[in-house]
Amino acid sequence: MSETFDEATTLKRRTFVAASTAVAGLPLLTSDRLPAAASTAAPTPADQLSTVRLTVNGEQRTAKVDNRTSLLDLLREHLDLLGTKKGCDQGACGACTVLVDDRRVNACLTLAVMHQDARVTTIEGLARGEQLHPLQQAFIDHDGLQCGYCTPGQVMSGVACIAEGHTGSRAEIREWMSGNLCRCGAYTNIVSAIEQTAKEA
C-alpha cells in the first residue's frame, strides 16, 4: 500500500496529463506531433465555387466564393467592407443588416450566390463624400450610439424603416426596429433619431 502511494506521489505533471487523456480516450498531441494538415484548410473543390456579381454601393464588384458563403462573409472577407458587423451570426441581433435591392436583409442568413446581380447597400454606401446620410447625422445629434458595434445595422435598418413608412409613432418605430438589438440600451435615442429623420424627409 505504501509502495503504491509512493509511486503515485512521484508522478510528474506530464505523466499525469498523458495518463488522464489516455483514460478519457483522447490523443495527446504535442506541438511536434500535430498533423501537417491541421494548420491548412483543404481547398474548396472547383464545382463548389461560384462567381458572384453584385453592385455594391454603386460599384460593380465580382468575387469567386464557396457556394456556402453568406452575403455577410462575402462583404467582409472578400470585398473588405468591414462596416457591416458580424454579431450573433444567427439572424437574431441585426448587426449585419444591409439593403438588398432597397430591402433590409440580415446578411448572415442569406447566401451570396442568391443575390446575383443585386444592388447591395452597406453602411459605407450611405454617405455622399463628406456629407453624412441624414440618419447618420441624427444618430450623432441624438446620441443614438454608445459602443457603436450595432450602429451600422441600426442605421441601415432605420433607413429601411423610414422608406417603408413605418414611422407613424414611436411605438411603431420600436416595433419595426425590434430585430436590431443594442446591448448598450440606446433604444430611446435610436427611436428619436429615426423619428427626426422621418419628419425631415
Owner of C-alpha cell 438588398: 100
Beta strands in 36-176 (DSSP E): 49-56, 59-66, 97-100, 103-106, 119-121
Residue 37's pLDDT is 53
Cβ contact 63:78 at 8 Å: yes
49-98 pLDDT, tens digit each: 999 999 999 999 999 999 999 999 999 999 999 999 999 999 999 999 99
Residue 167's pLDDT is 98
3 state DSSP class of 64 = strand
3 state DSSP class of 21 = helix
How far does CA 199 lie from the centroid of its chain? 31
The residues, ordered by sequence, that sit 6+ positions from 131 with a Cβ below 8 Å of its Cβ are none
CA–CA dist 139, 137 (Å, integer): 5
pLDDT of 21 above 50: no
Which range, of 2-11, 60-69, 192-201, averages the lowest pLDDT? 2-11
134-163 pLDDT, tens digit each: 999 999 999 999 999 999 999 999 999 999
Report the half-sphere exposure of 190 (CA within 13 A, side-chain side): 29
pLDDT of 9 above 80: no
